[in-house]
Structure 1
Amino acid sequence: MSTIYKSEAGARAVQEQYRELLRAWPVPFEERHVPTREGDTYVRISGPEDAPPLVLLHGSGANSTNWLGDIASWATYFRTYSIDIVGEPGGSAPSRPKLGTEAVALWLDDVLAGLDISETAMVAMSLGGWHALDYAIRRPGRITRLALLCPGGVGRQRYGWMFKSILAKLTGRGDVRSSARLVTGLDDEHLEPVLDTIVSTFTHFTPRTERLPVFTDAQLRTLTMPVLVIVGDRDVMLDSAETARRITASVPNATVEVLPGVGHAVLGQTETVTKFLRA
């Protein structure tokens, strides 16, 4: 049994859902399975071959389907490389390189080498945002622009939502759906299909539970490329106010947007990110 799933049957259910959602990819694509020291990494490639590269890194418990609403726009202007992070419920190996060490950057080194990418712009979300920041800090000069949606590793992780979820379960009032709604902040009716996918995944998938290493002010000051950070002011997982404050104070060429009434799931930012990437 794969260690990232609770059962073999659950692994099959998540993988079937993943493949079904990927069928909705709205633009032509190529698929690559890139060999790395952490195992094969799945990459879905779209956009003109001669366009500048754009690497996409999704969040925890997600995969390339994270970008279904964005890819048609971004692939118009860029050669996009949507990477399924290893250890997450997508098409890559179940390996989980240790956060806070060189291991994550070495894995990304292998992926980019396999794709023949020397430098690239990058869009990343949540856990993927931590990966992107870690790589940009460790590999200065390889990232030309960095767009981050609710990135980890800057503002404090919050755990109050976890205690509320546990209490609800103990009193018989909680389930996976209510926990997912609390964490993501997805409470609009039109977003129910997104919540459905999250609930289905986390019913069977075991996410990383370790605390994300926090980048120091000195590390953030090394980010000299243009950086866009978008956070929601209702994020129950990460202190978005602290993220905004630290990025503004430490990153020399940063733009920060705090979205009112938005939780950890920062969606619908395609146009804002496109303008930033093309500036």
Structure 2
Amino acid sequence: MSEIYRSEAGAQLLREHYLRALTHWPVDHEQHRVPTPEGETFVLSCGPADADPLVLLHGSGANSTQWMSRVAELAARFRVYAIDIIGEPGLSAPARPPLDSDRYAGWLDAVLDALGLGRVPIMAVSLGGWVALDYATRRPDRVERLALSCPAGVSRQRKGFLVKALLLNLLGRWGRLRGVRLVLGPGLASLAPAETAMVLDQVLLVARNYRYRSGDLPVFDDAALRRLTMPVHVLAGELDVMLDSRETKRRLEAVAPRATVRLLPGVGHFVPPRPAVEHAFLTS
């Protein structure tokens, strides 16, 4: 049994759930299984074959279905490549190389090379934002620009919410749902009720069957952030209980030469899409 899942049955359940979800992918797409030094990596591609590329990296405890509600709009403009991050509950290898190594950059090198991609823009969320930043600081020549939501790795990770979330977890499904809402924040209210229910159910299903990464993600030092020479646009919620968004803004705008951070009032770790803003940045 892979150590990232709580049981073989749980791993199979999540895999089947993912495969069913992919039958509802809203646009025509191709599925790729790419060999890398860290194991096979699953990638979905869609959009016009001759369009500019856009790489998508999802958040922790997720997979590329995190982009389901957005991919039609993105694929209308870009050739989209949604990559399942290794060690997460998708269809990529369960490998979790040390986060303080260069192996995630080597992994993404291999994925991009196999897809025939050179210099690319990357859109990413949370953990995916950390992977994107790690790659961009190590391979700035391969990253055209970064569009990030609540990226980890720039500010300290907050711990205060954990106690409340653990206590809520003892109160059955109602408490677990409240705990998820606490972590994701008020931005969930921007979704339609059916979409909110789907997000909450997905998070609970993953939590029952998957082992989240333990320990803090490494924080990039100033020297690393100075290597972000490409345009960087960040959306961060002022009410994020997991990350210090004000510190993210202060550090990036002080050190990264072309970074802009928008703090969103009334928004937590879940940042509702801002298509007009993001498209303007990606196409500028």
TM-score interval w.r.t. the shorter chain? over 0.9
Partner of 1:249: 254
Per the TM alignment, residue 165 of structure 1 is displaced from its structure 2 partner at its CA by 2.0
Whole-angstrom CA distance in 1 between matches of 2:146 and 2:6: 34
Q: Which blocks of at least 5 consecutive residues in structure 1 are unaligned?
A: none
Partner of 1:117: 117
Counterpart of 1:266 (choices 248, 251, 271) is 271
Whole-angstrom CA distance in 2 between matches of 1:23 and 1:257: 35
Counterpart of 1:201 (choices 203, 206, 209) is 206
Partner of 1:47: 47
Is the 1:233–1:258 Cα contact (8 Å) retained in structure 2? yes
Partner of 2:30: 30
Q: Secondary structure at the match of 1:61?
A: coil
Per the TM alignment, residue 243 of structure 1 is displaced from its structure 2 partner at its CA by 0.7
Whole-angstrom CA distance in 2 between matches of 1:266 and 1:36: 31
Q: Secondary structure at the match of 1:141?
A: helix
Whole-angstrom CA distance in 1 between matches of 2:184 and 2:120: 29
Is the 1:232–1:259 Cα contact (8 Å) retained in structure 2? yes
Partner of 1:160: 160
For 1:101, give the aligned amino acid: S
Partner of 2:68: 68
Is the 1:165–1:174 Cα contact (8 Å) retained in structure 2? no
Q: Which aligned pairs between 1:1-279 and structure 2 lie closer than 5 A?
A: 1-169=1-169, 175-185=175-185, 188=189, 190=193, 191-279=196-284
For 1:229, give the aligned amino acid: V
Is the 2:169–2:179 Cα contact (8 Å) retained in structure 1? no
Whole-angstrom CA distance in 1 between matches of 2:102 and 2:213: 18
For 1:155, give the aligned amino acid: S
Is the 2:168–2:176 Cα contact (8 Å) retained in structure 1? no
Is the 1:150–1:230 Cα contact (8 Å) retained in structure 2? yes
Q: What is the TM-score normalised by the length of structure 1? A: 0.95
Q: What is the TM-score normalised by the length of structure 2? A: 0.93
* Alpha-carbon distance change, 270 to 124 in structure 1, aligned in 2, over 3 angstroms: same
Per the TM alignment, residue 68 of structure 1 is displaced from its structure 2 partner at its CA by 1.0
Whole-angstrom CA distance in 2 between matches of 1:69 and 1:170: 32
For 1:269, give the aligned amino acid: R
Per the TM alignment, residue 179 of structure 1 is displaced from its structure 2 partner at its CA by 2.1
Whole-angstrom CA distance in 2 between matches of 1:121 and 1:86: 20
Describe the superposition over 1:120-178 as per-residue Cα deviations: whole angstroms up to 9, x where unpaired: 00001100100000000001211001101100000110011111123345688974322
Whole-angstrom CA distance in 2 between matches of 1:36 and 1:169: 38
Per the TM alignment, residue 182 of structure 1 is displaced from its structure 2 partner at its CA by 1.3
Whole-angstrom CA distance in 2 between matches of 1:24 and 1:168: 33
Q: Secondary structure at the match of 2:82?
A: strand
Per the TM alignment, residue 194 of structure 1 is displaced from its structure 2 partner at its CA by 1.2
Q: What count of residue pairs does the alignment treat as equivalent?
A: 279
Is the 2:153–2:220 Cα contact (8 Å) retained in structure 1? yes
* Alpha-carbon distance change, 221 to 14 in structure 1, aligned in 2, over 3 angstroms: same
- Mean Cα displacement is larger for which, 268-277 or 149-158? 268-277
Is the 1:236–1:263 Cα contact (8 Å) retained in structure 2? yes
Root-mean-square deviation (CA), in Å?
1.7
Whole-angstrom CA distance in 2 between matches of 1:13 and 1:70: 25
Describe the superposition over 1:104-134 as per-residue Cα deviations: whole angstroms up to 9, x where unpaired: 1011111111111111000011001000000
Q: Which blocks of at least 5 consecutive residues in structure 2 are unaligned?
A: none
Query: Percent same amino acid among aligned pairs?
Result: 52
Is the 2:231–2:259 Cα contact (8 Å) retained in structure 1? yes
Q: Secondary structure at the match of 1:82?
A: strand
- Mean Cα displacement is larger for which, 105-114 or 168-177? 168-177
For 2:265, give the aligned amino acid: P
